C-alpha cells in the first residue's frame, strides 16, 4: 500500500495520528474530503497521557458516530486533590468525564479513519515546504506528498518544530512526564491529583479496571535522584496518599513510560501556513485535565473551517481561513491555558498550596468554579 500512495496529492494532509490528527481526519473524511495522514508509530501503543476526557466532547463524538461504549470507558464524576502535606479537598466535576487509555482510544480512531477512506501512512515527516499555493511534504523513507492544506498534529514536541523554526522550540524545557498503569484498589468514579515537591501526580481509572498514574516533575526536583524508582520512593511517597497507593499497586509495564522536554511555552496555531492542532498548537498544564478535550475541540473547529472553504487555490481564501482558525482557537483556549499557568504556579508553591487549601475548605464551591475555568462547554455541532 505504501508504494501506491507515494507522491500522492490530497486535499488535506495531516502530520500525526494522535487525537487531534485522527479526529480531524475522521471529520473531514465523513464529508468526503480527501485526507492523507502520516504517523511515525504503529498502533496500538501506550502514550504518556492523563487519559481523562471531559464530557464536553461527548455530543461531538456522537455526531461523528464514534461509539465508545464497547471500549468500556470509565465514568468519572468526582475530583480529589491533596497538598504535599496530605490535606485533602473533594469536589464534584461540573461536567464529569470518562477514563480511557490512549492505547485503546487511538487504535479505535485509527481503525475508524481507515474505514472512512483516510489514506494512512507510517513514516516520519522530515520537512514541509509551501510554494505556489501548494505544500510539499517530505518523509524519512523518501516519499514526497503534495497537498492543498497541511495540519500539524504531531504532539508536544517534534524535530519538525526545529525544521519549521518555531521560536519556542530552541528553548530547553524544565519538565518531564512519567506514566505507568497499575492494578490497584481505586474509586473508579474519581480522578485524583496529588502534589509532591516539584510536581504532581494524577490517578484515574481506565478500561479493564486499570489505574493510570501519570505525573509531571521539574528537572530541578528530579535531577537529585538516579532514576524514576528512586524519585518515586524519595519524593512522591512523601505525599501520604501517593505512598499508600504505590505500596498496594501492582505495575503493569516492565518500566514506566517517560517523555522529556515537556514545554508549556506559548505556541502559534498557524506556522508557515500549517494549521497546528492539539498539543502542537498549545499545551495546557496537565493539572487541568483538559488536554485531550482541547485536542478534540481543535480538530473540530479546524475540520469545520476546511469543509466550508472553497476549492479555489487562492491566497485570500487561505489567509482568511488562517485568521479564522487563529481567532477561534484563541477564543476557545486562551483562557484555559492562562488559568492552567496560574494554577500550576500555585500548586508548585507549598505555601500557596496551604493557603489555597484553607480557602477551599471554607468555601468548597470555589473548586468546581475553578474547574469550569479550565474546561469548555459541551460541543454542540
pLDDT at 358 over 80: no
- Which tens digits make up the pLDDT trace of 73-96? 999 999 998 888 888 888 888 889
Among all chains, which residue has been given the C-alpha cell 507522491?
A: 7
- Average of pLDDT values for 98-102? 97
pLDDT at 5 over 70: no
More confidently predicted of 342 and 72: 72
Residues pairing with 92 in the sheet:
78
pLDDT at 373 over 60: no
CA angle 238-46-58, nearest 5°?
A: 95
> What is the per-residue DSSP string for 122-185?
E--EEEEEEETTEEEEEETTS-EEEEEEEEE---S--HHHHHTT-GGGGSPP-EEEEEEEEE--
Residue % of the chain over a pLDDT of 90: 60
pLDDT at 168 over 80: no
**How would residue 174 be classed by pLDDT, with cut points 50, 70 and 90?**
confident
Strands (E), the chain: 9-15, 35-39, 52-54, 74-82, 88-99, 119-122, 125-131, 134-139, 144-152, 175-183, 190-196, 199-206, 210-218, 250-251, 257-259, 270-271, 274-276
pLDDT at 4 over 60: no
More confidently predicted of 61 and 93: 61
- Which tens digits make up the pLDDT trace of 129-148? 999 889 999 999 999 999 99
pLDDT at position 361, please?
61
More confidently predicted of 37 and 281: 37
**How would residue 381 be classed by pLDDT, with cut points 50, 70 and 90?**
very low
Query: Which region among 126-135, 146-155, 218-227, 353-362 has the lowest average model confidence (pLDDT)?
Result: 353-362
- Which tens digits make up the pLDDT trace of 179-215? 999 999 999 999 999 989 889 999 999 999 999 999 9
pLDDT at 217 over 80: yes
> How far is Cα 265 from Cα 171, in angstroms, rounded to an integer?
9
pLDDT at position 11, please?
95
Q: Which residues contact 233 (CB under 8 A, 6 or more apart)?
A: none
pLDDT at 48 over 50: yes
Mean of per-residue pLDDT scores for the chain: 87
- Average of pLDDT values for 154-168? 78
- Which tens digits make up the pLDDT trace of 240-291? 999 999 999 999 999 999 998 887 778 899 999 999 999 888 877 776 667 8
Looking at 14-117, list the stretches that DSSP marks H as alpha helix, in order from N- to C-terminal side: 19-30, 58-63, 102-115
Looking at 37-128, list the stretches that DSSP marks H as alpha helix, in order from N- to C-terminal side: 58-63, 102-115
> How far is Cα 120 from Cα 103, in angstroms, rounded to an integer?
18
pLDDT at position 140, please?
96
Highest-scoring range by mean pLDDT, 2-16, 116-130, 276-290: 116-130
**How would residue 313 be classed by pLDDT, with cut points 50, 70 and 90?**
low
Helix (H, G, I), strand (E, B) or coil at 348: coil
pLDDT at position 367, please?
58
Topology classification of domain 2-49+59-68+101-170+263-348: FAD/NAD(P)-binding domain (3.50.50)
pLDDT at position 3, please?
47
Helix (H, G, I), strand (E, B) or coil at 220: helix
pTM for the whole structure: 0.89
pLDDT at position 303, please?
96
**How would residue 1 be classed by pLDDT, with cut points 50, 70 and 90?**
very low
Amino acid at each position: 500500500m505504501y508504494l501506491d500512495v507515494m507522491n500522492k496529492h490530497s486535499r488535506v494532509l495531516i502530520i500525526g495520528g494522535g487525537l487531534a490528527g485522527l479526529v480531524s481526519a475522521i471529520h473531514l473524511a465523513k464529508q468526503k474530503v480527501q485526507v492523507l495522514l502520516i504517523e511515525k508509530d504503529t498502533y496500538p501503543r501506550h502514550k504518556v497521557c492523563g487519559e481523562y476526557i471531559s464530557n464536553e466532547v461527548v455530543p461531538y463524538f456522537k455526531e461523528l458516530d464514534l461509539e465508545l461504549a464497547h471500549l468500556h470507558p470509565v465514568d468519572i464524576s468526582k475530583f480529589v486533590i491533596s497538598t504535599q502535606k496530605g490535606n485533602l479537598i473533594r469536589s464534584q466535576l461540573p461536567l464529569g468525564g470518562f477514563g480511557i487509555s490512549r492505547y485503546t482510544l487511538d487504535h479505535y480512531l485509527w481503525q475508524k479513519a481507515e474505514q472512512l477512506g483516510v489514506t494512512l501512512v507510517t513514516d516520519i515527516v522530515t520537512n514541509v515546504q509551501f510554494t505556489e499555493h501548494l505544500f510539499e511534504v517530505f518523509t524519512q523513507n523518501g516519499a514526497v506528498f503534495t497537498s492543498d492544506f497541511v495540519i500539524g498534529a504531531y504532539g508536544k514536541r517534534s524535530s519538525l518544530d526545529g525544521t519549521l523554526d518555531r521560536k519556542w522550540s530552541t528553548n530547553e524545557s524544565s519538565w518531564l512526564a512519567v506514566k505507568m498503569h497499575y492494578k490497584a484498589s481505586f474509586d473508579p468514579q474519581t480522578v485524583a491529583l496529588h502534589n509532591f515537591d516539584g510536581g504532581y501526580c494524577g490517578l484515574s481509572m481506565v478500561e479493564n479496571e486499570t489505574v493510570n498514574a501519570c505525573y509531571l516533575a521539574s528537572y530541578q526536583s528530579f535531577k537529585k535522584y538516579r532514576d524514576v524508582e528512586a524519585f518515586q520512593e524519595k519524593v512522591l511517597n512523601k505525599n501520604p496518599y501517593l505512598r499508600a497507593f504505590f505500596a498496594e499497586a501492582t505495575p503493569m509495564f516492565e518500566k514506566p513510560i517517560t517523555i522529556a522536554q515537556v514545554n508549556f511555552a506559548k505556541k502559534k496555531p498557524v506556522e508557515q501556513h500549517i494549521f497546528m492542532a492539539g498539543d502542537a498548537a498549545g499545551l495546557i498544564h496537565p493539572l487541568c485535565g483538559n488536554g485531550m478535550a482541547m485536542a478534540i475541540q481543535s480538530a473540530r473547529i479546524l475540520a469545520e473551517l476546511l469543509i466550508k472553504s472553497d476549492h479555489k487555490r487562492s491566497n485570500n481564501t487561505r489567509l482568511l481561513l488562517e485568521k479564522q482558525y487563529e481567532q477561534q482557537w484563541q477564543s476557545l483556549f486562551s483562557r484555559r491555558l492562562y488559568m492552567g499557568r496560574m494554577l500550576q504556579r500555585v500548586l508548585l508553591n507549598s505555601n500557596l498550596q496551604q493557603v489555597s487549601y484553607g480557602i477551599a475548605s471554607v468555601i468548597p464551591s470555589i473548586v468546581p468554579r475553578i474547574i469550569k475555568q479550565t474546561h469548555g462547554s459541551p460541543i454542540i455541532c
